[in-house]
Structure 1
């Protein structure tokens, strides 16, 4: 009798656990800005940034948001964003002049910490290895990638010497579609993905002192093609997504993974449903701690993989989203995009 009751309780608990639906909870941002900058710190704090100088912040997991147009920068498109906590964050404008701003009071005031008025200046992404060490990169100026380093948490930025910046091919640049083409693997190793006529991975083992190159098989050859997001699942297993943003439903050479740091690339058995701008690990997207679960987002919808990118299926048809992030320290997942769209992934019990 006791064994029977135990089995019944176990069955009920499993049924209850499986009777959950993941859905997107949309936020009223009261703006039609295009959001591509997104930084989710933990299950409470997240920042989002985008066009027309708009920046948003939540400190309670998305229940309430504060919104502002950064004073004096209403013409800027802040596509790159990195937040440390609810008070400190760094944002960068994708365009010329290239601006980098930092706040230490939750966005009440912003200080300009870098400016580049070269007409070719265009910042594509930002990432930090530690609380102090970080890197910003951008499109090439005079044939070499723009690279900035900080060792004080983004309060000051220094351009790397010209000879340390990778030499770019004609028509090679990068994409600021989601700010996820740069990633620190540890305190010194950083990877940057390029696109356009050539799409490859640039890898430094000493924080930008020297670079090596890894070729990718992703769709390339035009200004609208290449890698749009890089994900390091493990030290050796990496995944790239992208395609052609001018043909966003084209499912051709738009997703690949490697098990040996790019020496060999594999195409999925079933790929995403078109061009994708961002990919993340999302073990709690459907069920808790389901390792191998990935989410990829693009303007035509989101796709999910349960096997680290070997195969993909439809997750949602929500349109006009460009970037998705999971909390660096937690489970909170947020995506953002065009027309002022911001959405939080939440789970609802059916009964």
Structure 2
């Protein structure tokens, strides 16, 4: 979403002092990156390998659990903002830069970032790409804000080497002002071989679009989250094709107690509020086994019961979070090159 670009750099000035972090249980352990970029793109392969992307054309990679980081940015990308990263292993990754017109691009590497191939460059001045997600190593989707009243989605079947548009008539009409938020690389999510979701805000209602056929056709459902020009669903994550969580709030009022979380038990066809949600704007969310972790500029929260009840565990601000499947590890990234690895249970 274009408005997010204007406020991202000033978010810190809007914050009030957050509550003190809970000393018990999980906590973020810093993994210094040596850069000052705001890192909103993050993809963790496992406990040792992770990729991050952000402002100033920065792309980073670690293969030793974050103890050291290598700058693997595509050449000539200093003016780009890499808001999403999808990594498959230590050598293969796809990165998305956001922005209007030709600022929206996709790059792919298969040699750990030593070389990159630009596989997509947007030429439509009306389009603004926000997020990318993959079902597997080959099939993926990249989402743009609506163009002429419909969301625009590109699909790949060759691991991001080439992209084709999904027919616009396969989408429900967008609401006036509706768009995605390029806040964490999590406004598109997948689960299983065919299910995908798109998170939206900016319109009269915060909504989630769902595809059950690999991104070819889409339906839409309302959520109870606050929606406005600066509010909506910022991130969505599904543990299974039926069980998911959506987080958001108002990034212009990051500490405000607004409706910021909803749960689905039917694949996104319906959404309900949590019994005790986090407090404040949350831009990123990920499943850690049966638990859920949410992050935002005012702190991090964990739910042990599938998203119904939440507890603040750390006051450190992050923009995005990723917990690799099959591990107990979570990674988070944010402003000033901040990266953390979750320790404790």
TM-score where L is the length of structure 2: 0.87
Question: Of 211, 214, 218, which residue of structure 2 is paired with 1:207?
Answer: 214
Q: Is the 8 A contact 1:191 1:203 kept in 2?
A: yes
Alpha-carbon shift at residue 245 of structure 1 (Å): 0.5
Matched residue of 1:324: which SS? strand
Larger mean CA deviation between 241-250 and 227-236 belongs to 227-236
Within 5 A, what are the aligned runs for 1:85-124? Answer: 85-96=89-100, 97=102, 98-124=104-130
Alpha-carbon shift at residue 251 of structure 1 (Å): 1.8
Residue 191 of structure 1 is matched in structure 2 by: 197
Structure 2 distance, partners of 1:280, 1:118, is 32
Structure 2 distance, partners of 1:168, 1:234, is 26
Q: CA RMSD in A?
A: 1.9
Residue 284 of structure 2 is matched in structure 1 by: 278
Alpha-carbon shift at residue 86 of structure 1 (Å): 0.8
Q: Deviations over 1:200-246 (max 9, x none)?
A: 111112222221111111101x2111101112233333211111100
Matched residue of 2:273: which SS? coil
Q: Deviations over 1:83-137 (max 9, x none)?
A: 1111111001111311110111111111110011322322111111122111111
1:332 paired with 2:339, answer no
Residue 59 of structure 2 is matched in structure 1 by: 55
Q: Is the 8 A contact 1:251 1:271 kept in 2?
A: no
**For this pair of structures, how many residues does the alignment match?**
320
Residue 40 of structure 2 is matched in structure 1 by: 36
Larger mean CA deviation between 91-100 and 227-236 belongs to 227-236
Structure 2 distance, partners of 1:166, 1:102, is 30
Q: Is the 8 A contact 2:38 2:54 kept in 1?
A: yes
Question: Of 278, 302, 305, which residue of structure 1 is paired with 2:303?
Answer: 305
Alpha-carbon shift at residue 143 of structure 1 (Å): 2.0
Alpha-carbon shift at residue 347 of structure 1 (Å): 4.1
Q: Deviations over 1:284-316 (max 9, x none)?
A: xxxxxxx3x221100000111111111111110
TM-score where L is the length of structure 1: 0.86
The 1:130/1:230 distance shift into structure 2, 3 A limit, reads: same
1:173 paired with 2:179, answer yes
Residue 294 of structure 1 is matched in structure 2 by: 292
1:345 paired with 2:342, answer yes
The 1:21/1:171 distance shift into structure 2, 3 A limit, reads: closer
Matched residue of 2:282: which SS? coil
Q: Which runs of 5+ in 2 are unaligned?
A: 1-23
Q: Is the 8 A contact 1:42 1:331 kept in 2?
A: no
Structure 1 distance, partners of 2:156, 2:264, is 30
Structure 2 distance, partners of 1:128, 1:261, is 17
The 1:329/1:60 distance shift into structure 2, 3 A limit, reads: farther
Structure 1 distance, partners of 2:35, 2:282, is 24
Q: Which runs of 5+ in 1 are unaligned?
A: 1-19, 284-290
1:148 paired with 2:154, answer yes
Structure 1 distance, partners of 2:325, 2:182, is 20
Question: Following superposition, which runs of at least 4 residues in structure 1 exceed 4 angstroms of deviation?
Answer: none
Larger mean CA deviation between 176-185 and 63-72 belongs to 63-72
Alpha-carbon shift at residue 262 of structure 1 (Å): 4.4
Residue 316 of structure 1 is matched in structure 2 by: 314
Question: Of 125, 143, 151, which residue of structure 2 is paired with 1:137?
Answer: 143
Matched residue of 1:339: which SS? helix
Alpha-carbon shift at residue 165 of structure 1 (Å): 4.1
